Amino acid sequence: MKSFRKELYFHVATRRAFVNITSQVNDCLRESGVREGLILVNAMHITASVFINDDEPGLHQDYEKWLEGLAPHEPVAGYRHNVGEDNGDAHLKRQIMGREVVVAISAGRLDFGPWEQIFYGEFDGGRRKRVLVKIVGE
């Protein structure tokens, strides 16, 4: 069995953003040479997320509105975590959106359903963060 590991780095200038990383993950898959197996894509920061959904701007706006309704950034004093920082909401948003995704690899391709894409979700941007891509298989 082969094993492949690579880190992808992101620096989102805005506080929150959704970045389609499907092409970078596909690049990792090609580099690995794995034809059948599994791929894990994992946000390595507790204020960021990796998730699968449709790449549609209206959906991303809906996510932003929904997440802000569930865990609003302001007032920052409303979060006990915000001692010396202001990202308590980002931790909660990450919890909702998830830490990682696992996708089957079949015939050297990501085995997606219709419209599925992989996204990096940033909830406390402004600094460099990383995503782990781990591939195992044959």
Alpha-carbon distance values, 84 to 76, 79, 80, 81 (Å): 11, 11, 11, 9
The confidence score (pLDDT) of residue 121 equals: 98
Q: Coil, helix or strand for 128? A: strand
What is the reported pTM? 0.95
Does residue 24 have a pLDDT over 90? yes
The confidence score (pLDDT) of residue 2 equals: 96
Distance CA 34, CA 135 (A): 8
**Per-residue pLDDT tens for 69-120?**
999 999 998 899 987 789 999 999 999 999 999 999 999 999 999 999 999 9
**Domains of the chain: which residue ranges?**
2-137
Q: Per CATH, which fold does 2-137 belong to?
A: Jelly Rolls (2.60.120)
Burial 75-105 (b: 16+ CB within 10 A, else e): eeeebeeeeeebbbbbbbbbeebebebebeb
Average pLDDT of the chain is 96
For range 5-34, the mean pLDDT: 98
Structure tokens at 95: 């919890």
